[in-house]
Amino acid sequence: MPTNETIIAKTIGRAPDRSVNIGAWQFARWRQFIGSYELPALVDPVFVVHVGGKPDTRLWQADHWSSERSVPGCATIVPADVSTGWRIDGELDVVTVSVPLAELRRASAVEQFQAMRFAFADPLGIALTRQILGELYAAPTNEREAYISTLLDALRAHTLRGSMGPTEAPIPSADASAYRIHQIMNEILARPEAEHSLEALARQAELTPSHFCRVFKKATGTTPHQYVMKARLDRAQELLGGSDLPIAAIADQLGFTSQSHFTRAFRQYAGQTPSGWRQTIQ
């Protein structure tokens, strides 16, 4: 009988980098590279933690790729019996925790795993997952095995408890949490045309502008300005390929100071002018 892990391994063409069982549960780390993948329906629900890699993984939604993107520090729930599509831009590094349906029923926790939840914040689940991963790569000792077992039990209890619900508040932190950075990134992706000044973004993260720049670049691999520009140019590609809007109107709609500014930025990003790219796509 197939398991979640055999289905995932067949889809991406490789075995997990590390795996360990928690009774009927299975904890597995997967590392994959650029590409689009259609994942068949899984046997059991999965709690997925995005632990590393490039911050640009999208989910297929009905007839388009999601504007929201999963980044390191995010969690996702994939229910059983639902096929999904994924697009990876760069390296992906995730951990999957397969959650047996039988145990969910016993714990009356089925409801929280019945719907797809993509790229949400779960600081405790992510912290536990990272700690377990670190121990799996350490030298084997009796103490290490007992510690891993305790961490795995804590992760299982946390998952069943359902603390990842949509009303959960972020854990307060003196520093910029993964939750705050992720919220800022999603706001930029939802409205790339907005000004998104460094000062405004830093205030939202409750940091000084210089500290925010360092934290943001560490989390995403790009500066805030580069991230905003990439979001605008990604949206420009969508508009050029899916609409008949004049190029000047697209430049104005996405917040560029002029059509020539837009053309220079687009050529540097895509290797073609906007009009040339539109002709290629259409």
Residue 12 vs residue 170, higher pLDDT: 12
Residue 219 vs residue 93, higher pLDDT: 93
Please tell me whether residue 83 adopts helix, strand or coil conformation: coil
Verify that 244 and 135 share a domain, yes or no.
no
> Is 165's pLDDT higher than 50?
no
Whole-angstrom distance, CA of residue 144 vs CA of residue 95: 20
The string of DSSP codes covering 96-132 is EEE--HHHHHHTT--GGGSS-EEEEE-HHHHHHHHHH
* CATH code: domain of residue 261: 1.10.10.60
C-alpha distance from residue 254 to each of 3, 108, 202, 244, 272 (Å): 45, 47, 22, 15, 18
Number of domains in the chain: 2
Whole-angstrom distance, CA of residue 87 vs CA of residue 230: 17
- Of the pLDDT bands very low, low, confident and very high (cuts 50, 70, 90), residue 169 is very low
Residue 78 near residue 44 (C-beta atoms within 8 A): no
Residue 166 belongs to some domain of the structure: no
Per residue in 60-110, pLDDT (tens digit) is 888 888 888 888 888 899 999 889 999 887 778 899 999 888 888 877 777
Whole-angstrom distance, CA of residue 225 vs CA of residue 223: 5
- Average pLDDT of the chain is 85
Number of neighbouring beta carbons within 10 Å of residue 272: 14
Verify that 245 and 120 share a domain, yes or no.
no
Verify that 210 and 265 share a domain, yes or no.
yes
Residue 53 belongs to some domain of the structure: yes
- Which residues form the domain of 268? 171-282
Residue 103 belongs to some domain of the structure: yes
Verify that 222 and 260 share a domain, yes or no.
yes
Whole-angstrom distance, CA of residue 147 vs CA of residue 170: 27
* CATH code: domain of residue 54: 2.60.120.10
Verify that 30 and 153 share a domain, yes or no.
yes
Per residue in 114-156, pLDDT (tens digit) is 889 998 888 888 888 888 888 888 888 888 888 888 988 888 8
